[in-house]
Homo-oligomer: A and B are copies of this chain.
């Protein structure tokens, strides 16, 4: 299999886009990615789209063909990839397969979600489709309550505190404040986070990622052609994925994600690297407890040490490992289908030295971690400077 690099990235601002449609957001991100790669659209040979619930949220399925149509790329093949909130991650992986196999030299991978066109209740129900519809959602278990169960057990088993979870939100808002694409470009205090309204005990408002509109696109190229178009191609050193049961109740543990652990192990093996080699990581903090579990399951900290490490500032920008320099799902926003690609965009920007006020100096290797549902799917990519 051939080496594959990212040669261009493009994002819309994440937020509430009342004035833009699903397709307009996709075109905006796609045009930026093409411009970034200094590429004409005609060079793109296939498109891999990602959207979790476009059918329920905007009435549109057949998203791959829509994107190709709207970006003026017909007649190239297009597909929509879906794995709930890990849709971007699995699309990235499908695109990587297609180039690594030798079938295509240059492809586009784009994620999008337009979530504000329906009511908050409808969004919560649609997102519930990421879990087990028959065993969880039908019985009233929406995602805040599912992650709340994981948080309670993590607190019970490891002594994780509400302050430690709140410190994830404080850090990610601090990073988002430096990111012009982020939904919330403002810092919050630990006190604000702890006094915020309860969503599902112990999770409060700032423990939860928001409802967001947004799109993100990356252009991938076979390593041997990447240098033709791009001065700073970023190599995909690993692409790994694993699954677990959809329902939380079927799992052996509530305090770790088996899919994350298996995908991470495989990714580190592919890349020939260890957790200590990672300079920065975009991890799936749909809820603050999600980031705490992620940095443990990815091997950055011992089990149970994710909370204390975050509280001690060991995951802040420029610290031991910089986690969610973009602001993460919490601060940057979480347009579910776009999230996995937006994580790639952030790592690419950082490794190129184009991350502006949030630039991490000397970044060489970055990791992305994208979760579907409560851990039914986990996708890990490792990117590095070439």
Residue contact A242 to B81, C-beta cutoff 8 Å: no
Residue contact B243 to A78, C-beta cutoff 8 Å: yes
Contact A97/B90 with A65-B243, A78-B83, A84-B65 known, Cβ cut-off 8 Å: no
**CB of A323 within 8 A of chain B?**
no
Residue contact A245 to B74, C-beta cutoff 8 Å: yes
Stretch at the interface among A123-131, A191-199, A354-362: A123-131
Give the contact-size bracket for chain A: 35 or more
- Report whether over half of chain A's contact residues are helix, strand or loop; otherwise say mixed: mixed
* Closest A-B pairs by Cβ, 7 of them: A101-B101, A65-B376, A77-B241, A62-B84, A61-B129, A60-B133, A80-B82
Residue contact A62 to B82, C-beta cutoff 8 Å: yes
**CB of A250 within 8 A of chain B?**
yes
Contact of A246 among B65, B93, B244, B258 (CB under 8 A): B65
Query: In the complex, how many angstroms separate the beta carbon of A364 from the nearest chain B beta carbon?
Result: 26
Residue contact A59 to B128, C-beta cutoff 8 Å: yes
Beyond contacts A64-B243, A101-B102: 11 other A-B pairs, Cβ-Cβ < 8 A, are: A59-B133, A62-B84, A62-B131, A65-B84, A65-B246, A75-B259, A75-B262, A78-B83, A79-B81, A82-B82, A101-B103
Residue contact A244 to B373, C-beta cutoff 8 Å: no
Q: A81 CA to B65 CA in the complex, in Å?
A: 13
Stretch at the interface among A50-58, A223-231, A305-313: A50-58
**CB of A76 within 8 A of chain B?**
yes
Chain B minimum-CB-distance residue to A376 = B65
Instruction: List A residues at the B interface (Cβ < 8 Å).
Output: 1, 21, 23, 52-56, 58-66, 68-69, 73-84, 90, 93-94, 97-98, 100-103, 125-126, 128-134, 137-138, 241-247, 250, 258-259, 262, 372-373, 376-377
Contact A94/B79 with A1-B102, A56-B56, A101-B102 known, Cβ cut-off 8 Å: yes
Q: A101 CA to B54 CA in the complex, in Å?
A: 30
Contacts of A68 in B (CB 8 A): 243
Q: Give the one of A55, A130, A134, A242 with max B CB within 10 A.
A: A55
Contact of A69 among B21, B73, B93, B376 (CB under 8 A): B376
